[in-house]
A and B are shown apart, each in its own frame.
Chain A
Amino acid sequence: MARYFLKGNEAVVVGALVAGCESFYGYPITPASEIAHAASEYFPTLGRTFLQAESELASINMVYGAASTGQRTMTASSSPGISLMCEGISYMAGCELPCLVVDIMRAGPGLGNIGAEQSDYNQLTKGGGHGDYLTIVLAPNSVQEMIDFAILGFDLADKYRNPVVIAADGVIGQMMESVSFPEDYTPLYQDKPWALTGDKNSERRLHTSIYIENDELEAHNMRLQEKFSRMKAAEQRAEEYMTEDAELLLVGYGSVSRQLKAVVNNVRQRGVKAGLFRPVTISPFPAVRLEKCIRGKKRIVVAEMSSGQLHYDVKALVGNDIPISLIGKLGGNLIEEESILREVL
Chain B
Amino acid sequence: MKKIFKKSDGFYDTFFRKPGDDKQSTTYCSGCGHGIVHKLVAEALVDLDMLDKTTFISPVGCSVFAYYYFKCGNIEAAHGRAPAVATGIKRALPESYVVSYQGDGDLAAIGTAEIIHAANRGENITVIFVNNAVYGMTGGQMAPTTLIDQKTTTTPRGRSRENEGMPIKVAELIATLPAPVYVERTSLHDISHIMKTRLAIRKALRFQKEGKGFTLIEVLSQCPTNWKVKPDQAGEWIKKHMLPYYDLGVFRDTSREAEQRTGGPMNRKASDHLKPGKLMEKIGIKSESESLHSSFSEKMTIDHELKIRIAGFGGQGVLYLGQILCQLALKNEYRATWFPAYGPAMRGGTANCSVVLSNREIASPIFSMSDILVAMNQPSFDKFSPFVSPDGYLFCNSSIISVEPDYEAELRDRRIKLVSIEATSLAEEAGFSFSSNIVILGKILKTLPYFHKEDVFSLIKRKFRNKEKLIQFNVKAFTLGFEA
Interface residues of A (CB under 8 A from B): 2-6, 14, 17-18, 20, 22-23, 25, 30-31, 41-42, 44-49, 51, 53-55, 57-59, 61-69, 71, 73, 87-88, 91, 95, 113-115, 170-171, 174-178, 181-186, 196-200, 202-203, 205-210, 212-213, 216, 255, 258-259, 261-262, 265, 334, 336-338
Contact = CB atoms under 8 A, between A and B. Distances in A.
Given A3-B287, A23-B88, A255-B366, A58 B340 contact: no
A302 to B, nearest CB: 17
Given A17-B283, A48-B268, A206-B67, 12 more contacts: A5-B288, A5-B323, A18-B276, A31-B342, A57-B114, A58-B113, A114-B342, A198-B93, A205-B74, A208-B58, A213-B19, A258-B364
Interface in B103-160: 113-114, 116-117
A62 B73 contact: no
A42 B274 CA distance: 13
A88 B81 contact: yes
Contact of A6 (B53, B113, B285): B285
Interface in B64-97: 64-65, 67, 71-78, 81, 84-93, 95-97
B1 interface: no
Interface of B: 17, 19, 52-55, 58, 64-65, 67, 71-78, 81, 84-93, 95-97, 113-114, 116-117, 265, 268-271, 273-277, 279-280, 282-289, 323, 326-327, 330, 335-340, 342-344, 362-368
Contact of B77 (A54, A61, A170): A61
A226 B452 CA distance: 60
A144 to B, nearest CB: 11
- Give me the 6 closest cross-chain CB pairs, A-B, nearest first: A65-B88, A198-B96, A202-B73, A61-B84, A262-B363, A208-B76
Given A42-B283, A170-B342, A336-B366, A199 B53 contact: yes
Given A61-B78, A255-B366, A51 B87 contact: yes
A260 B124 CA distance: 52
Majority-rule SS of A interface residues: mixed
6 contacts: A2-B277, A22-B270, A54-B117, A170-B342, A175-B339, A198-B97
Contacts of B92: 22-23, 49, 65-66, 69, 71, 73
Contacts of A178: 288, 326, 330, 335-336
Contacts of A53: 84, 117
Given A31-B343, A61-B88, A203-B52, A46 B271 contact: yes
A87 B276 contact: no
